[in-house]
């Protein structure tokens, strides 16, 4: 089964109350349980708590922007020492600077939270902020590590997004990161966790877009830096990001948050650029491509195709385009290094093509 089809299946099971999409055999389950114990001993729990980053950012004279953060320990900022080093604080400060308006940040994320906990976090939110302007959600890792059925996890995320959108709140979801880069996790558990986390991220994208939110792929925690410099990008528990890691994640989420708020950015109003692998197509296909390309945003359109809602895929990370000209300004047709051309006809891209173009397994 192709990954796009799998993402649609998981999201459909979430929408219609199905289950079983995350089931594994008894032998595999026993192996995962044993190796998970090894991983927990290696990773450890060196942090007692995460800093409280809730508060007011910026001193502009415009109307206050209410920004909320929901989710798990990554949303909470576990692994850093100062409140200013969390994703929420970095995004709040940047939004205040770009908009010239003060930002009130309310962080209700909980260390160890799963997607099922989002409902309670939204309940708490209504008690503190009646109509938030924008919400950032980062969740999914604990669903994978606790072997929660993916359709169940996606269902809870979709319900949270739906409740927020009904209040008029813009929603930006940082999808489940690729757990295949966590070095303390032994093989084959790491490979299985990689597949599960990628499948969950793709299904999250389908469900979130269907509910009117937008997603940003966190992928392998946003770049080869995490693999090449784990002591810099990971905190001392070798699992949660360091301040540099959180800053990298925040930089990927920020353009989408600004766009959701109507703030002008370099991407505002521009058409998808096929040279960057961008385009409009079935949401499940866009979701799979986003998983393979960290920092990519997927947002729905008003158009509906044969396979459901169509979505726009934008590579928000502004990497320079490769020089593929043959001397007369035309691209060399034999060079596909500029990335995949998004399908607009609803066809799924073969797995081999995705791997060849991204350098990552599909």
Residues taking part in catalysis: 73, 237, 240
Cα(41)–Cα(209) distance, integer angstroms: 37
Three-state DSSP state, 161: helix
Q: CA-to-CA distance for 295 and 242, rounded, in angstroms? A: 18
Can you tell me which residue has the tokens 């032994």? 186
What's the start-to-end Cα distance of the chain, in Å?
12
**Helix, coil or strand: residue 13:** helix
Cα(197)–Cα(178) distance, integer angstroms: 6
Distance CA 203, CA 284 (A): 8
For residues 88 and 55, give the distance between their C-alpha atoms in angstroms, rounded to a whole number. 10
CB atoms within 10 A of CB 1: 7
What phi and psi, each to the nearest 5 degrees, are found at residue 174? -85, 110
Q: Which DSSP category does 37 fall into?
A: H
Nearest of 213, 221, 257 to residue 66 by alpha carbon: 257
């Amino acid at each position: 089964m192709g990954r796009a089809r799998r993402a649609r299946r998981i999201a459909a099971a979430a929408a219609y109350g199905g289950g079983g999409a995350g089931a594994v055999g008894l032998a595999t389950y026993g192996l995962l349980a044993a190796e998970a114990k090894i991983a927990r001993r290696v990773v450890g729990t060196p942090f007692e708590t995460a800093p409280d980053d809730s508060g007011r950012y910026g001193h502009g004279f415009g109307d206050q922007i209410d920004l909320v953060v929901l989710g798990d320990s990554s949303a909470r900022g576990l692994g850093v020492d100062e409140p200013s080093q969390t994703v929420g604080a970095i995004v709040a400060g940047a939004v205040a600077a770009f908009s010239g308006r003060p930002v009130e940040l309310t962080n209700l994320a909980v260390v160890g939270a799963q997607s099922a906990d989002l409902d309670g976090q939204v309940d708490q939110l209504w008690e503190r902020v009646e109509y938030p302007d924008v919400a950032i959600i980062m969740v999914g890792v604990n669903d994978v590590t606790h072997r929660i059925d993916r359709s169940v996890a996606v269902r809870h995320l979709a319900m949270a997004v739906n409740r927020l959108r009904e209040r008029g709140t813009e929603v930006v979801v940082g999808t489940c990161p690729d757990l295949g880069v966590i070095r303390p996790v032994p093989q084959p558990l790491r490979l299985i966790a990689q597949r599960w986390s990628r499948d969950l991220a793709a299904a999250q994208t389908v469900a979130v877009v269907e509910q009117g939110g937008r997603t940003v792929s966190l992928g392998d925690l946003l770049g080869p830096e995490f693999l090449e410099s784990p002591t810099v990008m990971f905190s001392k528990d070798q699992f949660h990001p360091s301040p540099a890691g959180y800053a990298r994640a925040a930089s990927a989420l920020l353009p989408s948050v600004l766009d959701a708020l109507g703030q002008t950015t370099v991407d505002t109003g521009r058409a998808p650029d096929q040279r960057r692998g961008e385009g409009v197509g079935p949401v499940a296909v866009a979701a799979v491509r986003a998983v393979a390309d960290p920092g990519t945003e997927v947002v729905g359109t008003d158009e509906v195709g044969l396979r459901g809602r169509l979505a726009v895929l934008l590579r928000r990370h502004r990497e320079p385009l490769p020089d593929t000209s043959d001397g007369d300004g035309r691209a060399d047709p034999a060079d596909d290094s500029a990335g995949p051309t998004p399908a607009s006809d609803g066809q799924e891209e073969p797995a081999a093509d995705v791997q060849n173009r991204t350098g990552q397994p599909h």
